[in-house]
Each structure stands twice: as structure tokens, then as C-alpha cells.
Structure 1
Amino acid sequence: AMHAIVDVLFFLVRLPCWFAISWVQFFYRCVVPKRKSIRGQVAMVTGAGAGIGQLICVRLARLGCRVAAWDISSEGLEATRRLVAEACGSSGSAQFESFICDVASREACYSVAKETLNRMGRVDIVVNNAGIVQGKTLLDSDDDKTEKLYRVNLLSHYWITKALLPHMLSRGSGHLFYTASCAGWIGASHLSDYCASKAADVIFAESLQSELRSCYPNARIPVTTLCPYLIRTGMFQGCNSPIEWLFPSLDPAYVADRAVAAILAEESLVAVPRIVYCFIALKTVLPNPAYEALQKLGNVDQFMLPFRGSVSSSKAKAN
């Protein structure tokens, strides 16, 4: 009993110290952001044929990365290749390799991961970015489309990470990046499958980070999760921010910049815009009726009504 009391007291003494150190580190990084060099590294990006994935490829190539771009669309990958060439000049072609992959297929994920290692020689950064949306109520949803959504948005993260993590561990370094969503924290009507998949992405990344820290303490493999708000891409065609004055829909270039900055700074959880952190905190402390009132104020229940389906676009700008 005395031993247990000592353990509790020791924990209570250490807890405020941990908090203090964490806050000092946080504010220091706000003033002096960490920025590692990734020049010469190999970055693998899924969903690279359009939208955020395409723009992330361009930014990583500009920073000197060799990019292994995965997508199901050969046309999209060719468009990304052109953007990388425009952004990087004569070195652009040498910095870019494309891989056709349907990440909804477990076999394809493992096979293309092996092909990527064979062709690129190594993989230092894995950006799991591919995602799809169905946009139906639970009763109107199609079971096959729902299953595919989970395969693309969640299970592909398992398969790709499992395929490439041993390579990173053998080298003792790497970086794992996951594009989740604010929808992983805040449930919305017509998005039960999408929100659930993104919530699982957040917790998967957090659990993996804990696993790496405890099971492989000598390996330096940071894990980053990006949770953006509504982005002006073709994914949510027809939808607009329900509270544009507080939560304006996001420019894809800005989100891509934030994603790459998070990789360079080795941030863990990144919400875009930052005010989302406040709503996440409020969700944990507000009584349920108050939280429901906040959702109604934000028009969360009506957000998806104008939804016209997802449109894959390869017309993103390289800026």
C-alpha cells in the first residue's frame, strides 16, 4: 500500500513538470519553428493525381525530394508530372516517378509498395493522402461504396504502413504522414461513413505513434496527422462552409503548404485552421445539449444537402 501511495505522489509531482515543459516547447516552436532538411529523400504520396496530393508532390519536389507518386489515374499522374517539371525545371523529370495503384486493393498496396522500393531504392516519407466520400445518409448509402470508402480512407493506411515501415525501421529513420479531416473529430449528417473513417485515421496514427515510441525507441520515425476543414477541391462539389465568416473553406495551396510545413517541423496533430482546436476542446467539456446547439449554430446538419458528388480534378495550380 505504501509503495502505491509513493507511486501516486511521484506521478502527481511529475505531472505539472510534464505540462510545463510541454507548454514551453510548444511556445518556443511557435516562435522558432523547427525545419528539417528533406533534400535527397524519397517521398511517396498517395492520391497524387489531383487536389492536395498533387500540390504536396510539387512542394516536396521543390524542396529536393524524389517523389514516388501513387494514383489510380494515369492522366492525373501525368498532370502531376507536368506540374513538377514546371516547378523544378530541368531536374523535375528526374525527381518524379509515377505508380498506378488502386489503394482500395490490399494486394495492390503491398505490390506497389514493393515496386516503389525496387525502383526508388528507399522511402523516407510516406504521405497517405488518398481519400473518397460518398455523401449519403446511412439508409441511402450503398454498401459496396461504403466498403470501398473504408478501404481507401482507412485500410490503405494500414496496408501501406505495414508494407513500408519495416524498411524505415531497418534504416532507423522515416516519417509517416496521414491526411485525416476535421470530420474525424466532429460528426456530420450524410457523412457517417466518412467521419468514422477519418476518426479511425486519427486514432490509428496516435496509436502507431505510441507503438513506435514504446517498441522501437531507437528509431526516429515521427508520425503526423493533418486534419483540415473543408477544402475547395472537387471532393465536396456543391458544398460551402456553413459558417464562412468563422470557418472559411480552405484554399488547396494553403493546405498543401501547411502539410509540408508539418512534415518539416515533425508536428504530430495539425488542425487547419487552428480555431478547430477550440471546437475539439469544447466537445470534450460541453454538456451534450450545449454541443448539439453549437452544431446547429454551425449548420452541421445541413452542410451536405447541396452535395453534387466528387469530381476528380487535375487542374490544381503549382503555386
Structure 2
Amino acid sequence: MELKSACRMLLFPVQMFYYIVRASLFSLLPSRRKDLSKEVVLITGGGRGIGRHLAKEFAKQGARKVILWGRTEKCLKETAEEISLSGTECHYFICDVANREEVYKQAKVVREKVGDVTILVNNAAVVHGKSLMDSDDDSLLKSQHINTMGQFWTTKAFLPRMLELQHGHVVCINSILSQSPIPGAIDYCTSKASSLAFMESLTLGLLDCPGVGCTTVLPFHTNTEMFQGMRLFVYNCCHLGISTYNMFPHLFPPLKPEVVAQRTVDAVRADKAFLYLPWTMHALVILKSFMPQVALEEIHKFSGTYTCMNTFKGRT
């Protein structure tokens, strides 16, 4: 028994190396994209921002039906009308994902009126944009309820039917701030870190469930109303006579929401589990995993991320 255990220990590094090399090679090969013509896509926070562009992109890529959830009827209606004009059937429902009973109730209405949801996109999110001591309790709770707990309720509402059909996909629009937090957005960073843990656990839990997959998208700062006024650290070295943006224009570009939407839909079609946008965010996560805290603090001071939320206005 001891000899068998020793052999397993010796083989373990070899096996890990094999799986890493194998996965790396497969990632370089062009993968087959799945057809969306039979998919019914539900997008939370689908009336504006990234959600609106996701709805348009899924419709463009051939989704059979698109369903929008959100709290603002005006935005939902405008987006639904635009998609319907493009030739794709689109429905919208008023739903606050932070309200568990409302999620379950509207999920039942969706099944009855539209049909089974086969792609769930958890996109709804809010950001308070203040330090811990400047934040009121209700605002902090709101961020956690919408950004994190909302995913629990929507996934519980739609995943069982996907498992029954052996066909479905759960998507989460997360943020790189879940792995590399910044000051001034403690509510958002915390909720997104929880959301990432939820998706990582869910992805592993569905490995033995044929036909059902997950995709987690971790984008860098995206130009949407939600982060209006946020000052990007790539511009904050002017006091040193340095323009970081000019030095590294391709490493840290602010993302366009339509690009995030395009890459997200492509990742879903390719059954990709995790998507970092841009690709340089991989390096950021790797560096953080082994750099000492003192070095990370110096980088934050140099780049100006300590003050990047000082001009934050958010969605007006």
C-alpha cells in the first residue's frame, strides 16, 4: 500500500505537466462553435450597458429568442424593440434579481410565455463607489444582493431544467476586480469576488453533467455608464512626466462594451470556461499570486489606483 502511494506521488507532477501541456495545445487549436439557432437566451440587466450589447450580439449570432430582465422598463423596451426590428423574437420582463421571490415568480412566467431558457447570462450589477466608512449599510447590502445573491436565485430558477434537458449554459459577466481589487469600490470588489467563487464552484460541479456548461467573463474597465467618471490608472502618471497609456497602449485599453459582448458570445459558442479581457489580465493575476504585498502596494501608489475612484459618478 505504501509503495502504491509513493508511486502515485511520483506520478502526480508528471500527470499535472501532461494536463497543462495538453490543455495549452488544445487552446491553440481552432475549436468548433456551437449553433445558437435553437437557443433561448435570458440576460439580466439586459436593458443597457454590456447587457444591451450582449442581447444584440446573441441576436446577431442567430439566437432563436432573447429575453431581457431588468428594473427600468424604458431601457428594456427600447432594447427589445431594437432587437425585434432585427428579426429576432425578443421579450422583456421587469425583475429585480435581488428579490428572490420575484426571480422565481418571473422565471415561471418566462417558462409559460416564452419557453425553456437554455442560456442564462447573469449580467446585472451595481457599484456604490465609496469607501467602507463612507458607505451606508443599505447600499452595501444592495451590492451584495444584486451582484452575488442574484446569481444564486437566477441559477436555481433555470439550471434544473437545463440539467433535465441535458442542454444549457450559465454565463457570468464578472470583473477583473474580483481578483485584483481597488480602493473606493469595496462593495463591488467583494461582491464580484464572491460571484467568481460561485462560478468556479458551479463550473466544477457541472463537469459530470453532459450538455451543460459555464462561462465566466472577467473584463478590465469597460466604458459604460455604471463606471462613469472612474479615472483609469493608465492616465495617472502625468505628475512624473510619463504617459503609461502611451507606453503600453495595447496592454491596458479601456474596453468597449460591444467588444466584451462579441468576445463573450464567442466564448459561449466555444464552451470556454473562463475569459479574461484583454489577454494581459492573465499576467496581472499571475503576478499577484507571487509578488510580495509591499511590491503590490508600491505598484498601486505608482499607478494611482488609490485615487481612481475619487472622481467616480456612476450611472446618472
Task: Report the TM-score when normalising by structure 2.
Answer: 0.91
CA distance in 1, matches of 2:267, 2:303: 28
In the alignment, which of 100, 105, 109 is matched to residue 115 of structure 1? 109
State the partner residue of 2:72.
73
Corresponding letter in the other structure for 1:24:
L
Q: Which moved more, 1:14-23 or 1:2-11?
A: 2-11
Cα gap change, 1:272/1:10 in structure 2, threshold over 3 Å: closer, same or farther? same
Give the share of equivalent positions with the same residue, in percent: 32
Offset, 1:296: 2.1
The equivalent position to 2:152 in structure 1, one of 154, 158, 165, is 158
Give distance in 1, aligned partners of 2:175 and 2:13: 34
Q: Is 1:219 aligned to 2:210, yes or no?
A: yes
Secondary structure class of the residue paired with 2:313: coil
**Residue 20 (structure 1) shift:** 1.5
Number of residues of Structure 1 aligned to a counterpart in Structure 2: 300
RMSD: 1.3
How far off is 1:64 after superposition?
Answer: 2.2
Comparing 148-157 and 238-247, the one that deviates more: 238-247
> How many angstroms does 1:173 deviate by?
1.4
Quick check: 2:163–2:209 contact (8 Å CA) kept in 1?
no
Q: Which of these residues, 219, 228, 232, is aligned with residue 228 of structure 1? A: 219
Cα distance in 2 for partners of 1:265, 1:299 equals 37
Match of 2:260 in 1: 255
Cα deviation, 1:23-73, whole Å, max 9, x if unaligned, reads 111122xxx243111112100100011111011111111222201111111
**For each residue in 1:257-303, what CA deviation from the matched residue of structure 2 results, as whole angstroms up to 9, or x when unmatched?**
11111111111111111111111100001111112222223211111
Q: CA deviation at 1:172?
A: 0.6
**Runs of 4+ displaced beyond 4 Å:** none
Deviation at 1:218, TM superposition (A): 4.2
Preserved contact between residue 241 and residue 248 of structure 1 (Cα < 8 Å): no
Match of 1:41 among 28, 36, 39: 39
Matches within 5 A, 1:225-304: 225-244=216-235, 245=245, 246=248, 247-304=252-309
* Structure 2 letter corresponding to 1:230: H
What is aligned with 2:313? 308
User: Compared with structure 1, are the counterparts of its residues 13 and 251 closer, same or farther at alpha carbon in structure 2 (3 Å cutoff)?
Assistant: closer
Which of 48, 52, 55 aligns to 1:54? It is 52
Alpha-carbon offset, residue 117 of structure 1: 1.5
1:181 maps to what in 2?
175
Question: Where does residue 5 of structure 1 map in the other structure?
Answer: 6
Residue identity in the other structure for 1:4: S
Segments of structure 2 that go 5 or more residues without pairing to the other structure are 236-244
* Partner-residue secondary structure (3-state), 2:148: helix
Taking the aligned partners of 2:287 and 2:107, their CA distance within structure 1 comes to: 40
The answer to whether the 8 Å contact 1:110/1:159 transfers is yes
Take 1:218 and 1:257, find their aligned partners in 2: how far apart are those partners? 27
What SS does the corresponding residue of 1:222 show, helix, strand or coil?
strand
Deviations 1:109-161 (A, max 9, x none): 11111211222221110000000000010001011111111111000101110
Separation (CA, whole Å) in 2 of partners of 1:210 and 1:79: 37
Q: Please report how far the alpha carbon of residue 240 of structure 1 lies from its aligned counterpart in structure 2 after TM superposition.
A: 3.0
One-letter amino acid matched to 1:202:
L
Paired residues of 1:231 and 1:252 also in contact (CA < 8 A): yes
Rounded Cα–Cα distance in structure 1 between residues aligned with 2:188 and 2:230 = 15
Please report the TM-score for the alignment, with normalisation by the length of structure 1. 0.91
Q: Which ranges of structure 1 fall in alignment gaps of 5 or more residues?
A: 312-319
What amino acid does structure 1 have at the position aligned with 2:214?
V
User: Retained in 1: the 8 A contact 2:231–2:312?
Assistant: no
Match of 1:191 in 2: 185
Q: Secondary structure at the match of 2:108?
A: helix
